[in-house]
Each structure stands twice: as C-alpha cells, then as structure tokens.
Amino acid sequence: MREILIVALIIMVNYTFAQTNLDKRPVERKGFVIGIGLGAGALSLCTNDTTEIAFSTTLPNIKVGYMLNNRLALLALLPGANYKYNGKDRGFEGVIIAGQYWLKENWWVLGGAGLTFDAPAFYTVKDPKTAGFYTGFPAFTFATGYEIWHKGRFALDLQYRIFLGGSNLPNNGQREGVSNMCIVGFNWY
C-alpha cells in the first residue's frame, strides 16, 4: 500500500509540474500587422487660450503595418479622442507613421509623428463644406503596452498612449490637444 501511495504521489507531482511548466512558445510576429484598440482617458484641448479637460473615448484606434523583423514594426497609426464642441461630437485625431519595438517578449514601446485632424464625427456631417475640418502639423504619439494573452498570431494587450497635436482653425486660430488614453488592443501579426 505504501508503494502505491508513493507512486501515486510521484505521478501527481509530475502531472502538476507538467501543467505549470508548459513550454512557452514565443509569439510569431511576421508580415502584415493590424490592430484595433478601444479605450478611454482624458483629453485636454486648448482653443485660442481657453483650456478644457474632459473624459474622452477612443474608438476606433487603428494601426496597420508590417513587421520588419520579430521585434520591430513600421506602422500607420490612427490615434485619437472623441469630444463635444458646441453640443456636437468631434474627433481630435491623427495620421501617424510610427515604429513599434518589443523590448521584451510581451512588452513594447511605440513612437511616431504625423498630421493632426480635428473633424466632426462622420455621423454629424450634413454638408461637408460647412462641417469644419481642420488639420495641423506636427502630431506626436508615444505608447507602451503589455500583451496579456496571445494565441497563434493574435494578441490581446493593455496599453497607455499619449497623443499630442495641434490644428489650425479659421482666422489664425489654434487648437492644441493632449490625449492620455488607456486602451485594450486586439492585434493580429
């Protein structure tokens, strides 16, 4: 009886060890990259010396690009934040060329520059000529993220992103914004 108990205990220990020590295969990152992020945070807008800080959402937050190697991707990024101006929904967004680099297997950093777009939400536009589309240069974004789960070529990550930009308004006006967002990202490599 004692031998059976020892054998059973050894089998259980080995089985438990096998369950907790699974061979972690690295994520295979190659080729085309696409990511969509959903999140929220704070948006600070300064319009002609008037500053407003408000809760904001970011939907969608898109990145598309190509993996140059297993750790570095070149991306076109569309970060942004939604806000209300004179009772109407608008987006403070950008078109950014960025590089994303994995410092560790699951931890990455991103940085890029491009153009700022300050535009009405597409569903509020009745006449594009009077809608008020504004652009500006430069726009910058910096981000970091941690992939919390992956399966095959899919990864789910949590990220923090800051987006800075300025747009030129009519009559020599300026609107500058800083968006701080916490985002859940859905990525395919």
Mean per-residue pLDDT, 105-120: 95
φ/ψ (deg, to 5) at 46: -115, 110
Residue type, position 11, single letter: I
Select the more confidently predicted residue: 8 or 184. Answer: 184
Nearest to 155 by CA among 6, 20, 7, 26: 26
State residue 8's pLDDT score. 55
Structural domain boundaries in the chain:
28-188
CATH level 3 topology of 28-188? Porin (2.40.160)
Summarised one tens digit per residue, pLDDT across range 115-166 is 999 988 878 888 877 788 899 999 999 999 999 998 888 999 999 999 999 9
Mean per-residue pLDDT, 2-15: 60
Confidence of residue 20 (pLDDT cuts 50, 70, 90): very low
Mean per-residue pLDDT, 154-183: 94
Mean per-residue pLDDT, 18-39: 76
Residue carrying structure tokens 């680099």:
101
pLDDT at residue 5 is higher than 70: no
State residue 25's pLDDT score. 66
Q: Are 181 and 164 in contact (CB under 8 A)?
A: no
State residue 131's pLDDT score. 80
Summarised one tens digit per residue, pLDDT across range 31-82 is 999 999 999 999 999 988 889 999 999 877 899 999 999 999 999 999 989 9
